[in-house]
Amino acid sequence: MPYSPASGPLTANASGQPAASDDDPAAIGRRVRALREARGISLSALARQAGVGKATLSGLENGTRNPTLETLYAITAQLGVPLTAVLSAPASGATVRGAAVSATLLEVFEDSDVTYELYRMRVAPGPGQLSPAHQAGVTEHVTVFTGVLRAGPVDAPLTAAAGGHLRWASDVPHVYAAVGDEEVTASLLLRYPRK
C-alpha cells in the first residue's frame, strides 16, 4: 500500500501548519453581522426570513455558537451571498508551500471516476523544486500566466512562456523551475483517477 503523498501538488503537507490562522469562528459572525447591517435588516427579521431562531442568529453573530452547515446556509442564502462569502478569507486557501513553489487550491471537481484539483501556482526565480512521483494515472496540466516555466519529468522537462500550456504524466518525479529572473504564475490542474 503506497503511502500517498499527502496533499496537493507538492510533498509538503500541512501537518505542521494546521488551523490557527484564519479559521477564527468569531470572524464568521462578524461578517454575517456586517452583511446584515449593510442591508439594513434587523436580527429579528433576518432570523424570521431565514427560518432560524433569533437565539441561533444572535449566538452565531457573537461567536458563541458553532453553527451547523444547514443553519449557516439558510442565513447566507437569505442574505444572497454564497457560503464562501462568510468563510475565512475571500480567496480562501489551503496553501501548500515549498522552497520555490507555492500552490493554492481553488477548486475540486469530482467526475464519476476522476478527480480534478485546480490550483493557482507561483514559482519563485531560482533553482526550482523537485516533486516526487504521484500515484499512477495522475496527470498535470499547467497554463503559464507570467514568466517562463520549465516543468515536467526530471529527465525531460518542458518549457512554456506566458500563455503556454504544459501537460505530463506525473507518476514519475518531476520539477518546477522559473526560467530567468521573473516569478512564474500559472494555473495547475491535477487530474487523478478515483479508486
Partner DNA sequence: CCCGATCGTTCCGTTTACGGAACAGCGTTG
Partner DNA sequence: CAACGCTGTTCCGTAAACGGAACGATCGGG
Q: Which residues bind DNA (CB under 7 A)?
A: 42-45, 51-56, 58-62, 64-68, 70-71
User: What whole-number distance in Å separates Cα of residue 76 and Cα of residue 80?
Assistant: 6
Residues 153-192 close enough to bind a copy of itself by CB under 8 A: 162-163, 165, 167, 185, 187, 189, 191-192
User: What whole-number distance in Å separates Cα of residue 45 and Cα of residue 195?
Assistant: 47
User: What whole-number distance in Å separates Cα of residue 148 and Cα of residue 102?
Assistant: 16
Q: Which residue among 46, 57, 67, 175 contacts a copy of itself (CB under 8 A)?
A: 67
Q: Does 132 bind a copy of itself (CB under 8 A)?
A: no
User: Between helices 54-61 and 25-38, what is the axis angle to 10°?
Assistant: 120
Give me Rg for the CA atoms of the chain: 21
Q: Does 82 bind a copy of itself (CB under 8 A)?
A: yes
* 85 contacts 27 by C-beta, under 8 angstroms: no
CB of 43 to DNA, least distance (A): 3
- The entry of a copy of itself, DNA, none near residue 162 (CB within 5 to 8 angstroms by kind) is a copy of itself
- The entry of a copy of itself, DNA, none near residue 55 (CB within 5 to 8 angstroms by kind) is DNA
